[in-house]
Amino acid sequence: MKFTESMKKTCQFRAVYSGGKSCADRFLVLYALKNETDKNKLGISVSRKVGKSVTRSRVTRLIREGYRLSEDLVTPGCDLVFVARSSAAGAAFEDIRSSVCTLMKRQRLLRL
């Protein structure tokens, strides 16, 4: 991903959870918070409720790829955390991709 860094620390996730706005659909929940830089930070959280490790890794890859394909349209300067719901385990790539795009549109993060 060209314009996006990964969130790795728990304190970064907590800051977005506590200070950001959230919206949700059937497969994902998106928390978004403005930051002071010109880069985006992406965090993906997939809990054990979603499935075993193979399933969780697959869902993580699907979310990351769905975000990567629309990365050029995202306004810079946001911290984003996607949280997978248990229904995401059986979802196809197009379902996850449309969910990612829909949630970012709801948060007004896409430049169209």
Report domain extents, the chain: 4-106
Question: Would you say 82 and 99 are in contact if contact means Cβ atoms under 8 Å apart?
Answer: no
pLDDT at 84 over 80: yes
The SS3 of residue 47 is coil
Instruction: State residue 111's pLDDT score.
Output: 81
CA distance 103 to 27: 10
Q: What is the pLDDT of residues 4-36, one digit of tens each?
A: 899 999 999 999 999 999 999 999 999 999 998
How many percent of the chain have pLDDT more than 70? 98
Model confidence at 112: pLDDT above 90: no
Please give the share of the chain, as a percent, with pLDDT higher than 90: 91
- The CATH code for residues 4-106 is 3.30.230.10
Please provide the size of the chain in residues.
112
Question: Average pLDDT of 49-60?
Answer: 96
- With 80 as the cut, is the pLDDT of residue 1 above it? no
